C-alpha cells in the first residue's frame, strides 16, 4: 500500500502513484543542442580573453605612438635653433653589482650627455659646458676602448 497508513491516502479519483507516471529512461534533456552548448562555452570562455588582449594591444600601441611623437618633438625642438641632430647609442647602465638596465645615451648638440630610458623619458643630464676635454670609455665583454674628445 505504501509507506503511509491508510488514513493518509488521497481520496481523489486518481491518486498520484508510481504506476501512473511515465518513466522516461535514458532521456537526454539537451539532446540536439550540443552544438549550441559548445558555442556558448567557447563564447563565454574565449571572447572576454580576446577582448582583454585587444584592449591591452591598443593601449601598448597608443603608448608607443605617444613615445615616438614625444621623441620626435624633442628632436625638432633641439634642431629648431639651427643645431645639428643628436647622436644616440644604446647602452647598458650599471646601477649596482647585481643590476643593469638598458638605456639610450644622447650626445649633443650642446656639450651634454642625456640618458633616456626605454620609454623615451629623460633620466638624467650631465652638462660638460665648462669642461675643455672629455674622455668617453666604451666597454664590451672582453674589449675595452678609450677615446678622448
pLDDT band at 17 (very low <50, low <70, confident <90, very high): low
Q: Beta strands 99-107 and 135-140: pairing type? A: unpaired
User: For residue 89, what are the CA distances in angstroms to 21, 42, 108, 115, 117?
Assistant: 85, 48, 12, 10, 12
> Tell me: the pLDDT tens digits for 35-67?
888 888 889 999 999 999 999 999 999 998 988
Give the three-state DSSP class for 51. Answer: helix
Per domain, the residue ranges of the chain are 33-84, 86-148
Amino acid at each position: 500500500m505504501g509507506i503511509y497508513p491508510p488514513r493518509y491516502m488521497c481520496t481523489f479519483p486518481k491518486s498520484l502513484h508510481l504506476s501512473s507516471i511515465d518513466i522516461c529512461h535514458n532521456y537526454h534533456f539537451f539532446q540536439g543542442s550540443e552544438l549550441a552548448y559548445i558555442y556558448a562555452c567557447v563564447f563565454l570562455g574565449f571572447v572576454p580573453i580576446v577582448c582583454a588582449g585587444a584592449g591591452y594591444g591598443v593601449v601598448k600601441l597608443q603608448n608607443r605612438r605617444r613615445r615616438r611623437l614625444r621623441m620626435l618633438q624633442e628632436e625638432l625642438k633641439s634642431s629648431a635653433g639651427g643645431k645639428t641632430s643628436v647622436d644616440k647609442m644604446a647602452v647598458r647602465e650599471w646601477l649596482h653589482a647585481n643590476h643593469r638596465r638598458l638605456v639610450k645615451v644622447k650626445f649633443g648638440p650642446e656639450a651634454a650627455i642625456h640618458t633616456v630610458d626605454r620609454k623615451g623619458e629623460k633620466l638624467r643630464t650631465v652638462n660638460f659646458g665648462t669642461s675643455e676635454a672629455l674622455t668617453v670609455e666604451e666597454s664590451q665583454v672582453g674589449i675595452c676602448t678609450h677615446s678622448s674628445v
